[in-house]
Amino acid sequence: MYREHAGPPLPDPFEAAAKNARACGHVQLGAVGMIALSVLLAGLQLAPSKNLAFMATETKSTILLCAIGYVVVIGAWAALNAWGLRRRSRLAHWSSCAFAVVQIASCFGWVFGVGLFFLLFKKEMKGHYDARIES
């Protein structure tokens, strides 16, 4: 009587890199969530009030529409990056680096950008994008 499997299966050596790639995607989506929350709160402040009476309604609407457009574009970019990182795309890695630079350049997303750079260049990610033989 021979057992087919003599022991527990061997651990995947790239599991840490896959976990790290998922974390990179979550950081990017979290940054978009914080940007969306900030735009929502700014939109509530731009509502008709006596404090901002010096600003025309058209100007307020334009600012709010541009901010919503920014959230939509950056959200789509982050979602594509998260999907690409899970599929081990090298292009998604470099696109995520560009996303981190944009976050660092923004006024309130620099923490997300620095954290994303830290996760993208961890040593576990070294062999993550190489081709693998699936059995």
pLDDT tens for 16-74 read 888 888 999 999 999 999 999 998 888 887 776 666 556 677 777 788 889 899 999 99
DSSP result, 28-80: HHHHHHHHHHHHHHHHHHTSS-STTTTS-HHHHHHHHHHHHHHHHHHHHHHHH
pLDDT the model gives residue 99: 95
With beta carbons less than 8 A apart as the criterion, state whether 116 and 28 touch: yes
pLDDT the model gives residue 51: 60
pLDDT the model gives residue 80: 96
Residue 124 pLDDT level (bands cut at 50, 70, 90): confident
Exposure of 109 by Cβ count < 10 A (0-12 exposed, 13-18 middle, 19+ buried)?
buried
Any idea what the Cα angle at residue 29 is, between residues 40 and 84, rounded to 5°?
145
132 versus 72: which is more confidently predicted?
72
**Separation of alpha carbons 82 and 89, rounded Å:** 10
**Separation of alpha carbons 16 and 96, rounded Å:** 18
pLDDT the model gives residue 73: 96
Give 3-19 pLDDT, tens digit per residue.
666 677 777 777 888 88
109 pLDDT higher than 70: yes
110 versus 14: which is more confidently predicted?
110
> Between the CA atoms of 61, 38, 20 and 9, what dihedral angle is there, to the nearest 10 degrees?
-90
The structural domains of the chain, with segments of one domain joined by +, span 19-46+56-123
